[in-house]
Amino acid sequence: MQRSFPRRLLSVSVFAMAAVITSPDVETFEGTVSRQTVDGAEVYSPFAGRAYPDQVLFGDLHFHTEISFDAGLIGTSLDMHDAFRIAKEEEILSNTRQRVQLIRPLDFLAITEHAEMIGIATAIRSSDPRLLNDEWGRRVYDQFQSGQEGRMAAFGEIIQIATVEGRNPTEGLGLDGDMWDEIIETVDEYNEPGVFTALSGFEWTYSPFGNNLHRVVLFADGADKTGQTQPLPFFDTDGAEDLWDYLAAYEEDTGGRAISVPHNGNLSNGLMFTREKTDGTPMDAEYAAKRIRWEPMHEMTQIKGDEETHPLLSPEDEFADFESWDVANISGTVAKTPEMLQYEYARSAMKVGLEIEREIGVNPYRFGMYGTTDAHTAIPTTREDNYFGKYQHT
């Protein structure tokens, strides 16, 4: 089942003051174009009067349910079926048993559970013997059963081991099982071509030394193709290049389509939009072309901070300090310093990209932008009057 990625339309109107004299209109195959003269010279816009897309679609391309280790461990109990039901404007009960319904349905929704430790939250809830027979797994399980304090202590330990130290605490336990098959089959179940687009994907949660380099992977295909792959956890990679190679292999092997979308460069401590490769060597044309090929979009805003720009980068922009989160990296272990900022925000990244293009001929940061919820409640809404938080704390 082939699907098209939803497109966000950006229209920019530019107004100029000049001595304008209107002349007779010009007929074209696309309609009537207004002919004008400016300072005696005849000019007209070749785009005036032509057909253009006028349907704006809304949805969420970064979204978690109870399957993700962090969402499920902190208390989210709603599953993918709940998420799709509410996305289609059905009324459901929230994680705290409140009635919730969207004011208008979404046009698309992507399920992007963390690729790392898929299955651990489910294993704890179901007392999975594969977890209980492991010494570490049994200890974490007992902590979660001991109450809120023990639950949060165990959750903090998992975050430290996995996202900061980069070790997989569930390695060898086989907790993921056939969970990917369940995800992609559920996505196909709710997909309605021309009415509602359900997308599958995952989050690659790479955080070297607590610096956020996360990406969301989005597939444009149904289970017939996505079923030929498995989510790529960052434990099996040494950096974004490995993720891009994974995407290239997926497209070559299946004939499908996929992209990677970075997010929260504001928590990367200067590593998201650098002038270097992952190994620290200068960026070359091959690397730059690879990056923009697989990362044509950037998730520019979500609950962990708006990252269009920063007051120190845009001192004359009165909106530059909107929803900023700029004190440290994602783990809070390394403080932010001013020289990091230009490599973290979208506007400055585009400037860096132009500078790199002048040097090597390829712009790695010529990306489009969108915003998401990054909700971990399985409820895709951020309206102030209908908001249920990023996490469901219990």
Q: What is the pTM of this model?
A: 0.85
Q: Domain map of the chain by residue range?
A: 1-56, 59-386
Closest CA to 351 of 296, 309, 299: 309
Q: Amino acid identity of 183?
A: I
Find the range with the poorest average confidence among 39-48, 112-121, 156-165, 384-393. 39-48
pLDDT in tens, 199-254: 999 999 999 988 999 999 999 999 999 999 999 999 999 999 999 999 999 999 99
Closest CA to 204 of 247, 169, 170: 247
Residue 4 pLDDT level (bands cut at 50, 70, 90): very low
Report H helices in 127-163.
129-132, 135-145, 148-159
81: Cβ–Cβ under 8 A, 6 or more apart, which residues? Answer: 186
Dist CA 257 CA 30 (whole Å): 32
148: Cβ–Cβ under 8 A, 6 or more apart, which residues? Answer: 394
Find the range with the poorest average confidence among 18-22, 31-35, 39-43, 125-129. 18-22
- Residue 217 buriedness (CB in 10 A; 0-12 / 13-18 / 19+): buried
Edge-to-edge strands, sheet with 36-38: 20-22, 36-38, 41-43
Check if the beta carbon of residue 380 is closer than 8 Å to that of residue 71.
no
Closest CA to 80 of 148, 209, 196, 179: 179
Q: How many CA atoms lie within 13 A of 85 on its CB side?
A: 14
Summarize the confidence of residues 116-135 as an average pLDDT: 93
Closest CA to 301 of 359, 248, 261, 328: 261
Count the Cβ atoms, other than its own, within 10 Å of residue 275. 14
Pairing of β 297-302 and β 258-262: unpaired
Summarize the confidence of residues 35-56 as an average pLDDT: 62
- Residue 329 buriedness (CB in 10 A; 0-12 / 13-18 / 19+): buried
pLDDT in tens, 143-173: 989 988 888 888 889 888 887 788 999 999 9
Task: Give the per-residue pLDDT at 165.
Answer: 83
Check if the beta carbon of residue 213 is closer than 8 Å to that of residue 219.
no
For residue 60, the cross-strand partners are 109
DSSP state string for 41-57? EEE--TTTT--------
Report H helices in the chain.
69-74, 80-87, 120-126, 129-132, 135-145, 148-159, 179-190, 223-226, 240-254, 285-294, 346-360
Please determine, for residue 9, whether its predicted confidence score (pLDDT) is greater than 80: no
Check if the beta carbon of residue 373 is closer than 8 Å to that of residue 391.
no
Summarize the confidence of residues 306-332 as an average pLDDT: 94
For residue 283, what are its two tokens? 């960026």
Dist CA 138 CA 140 (whole Å): 6
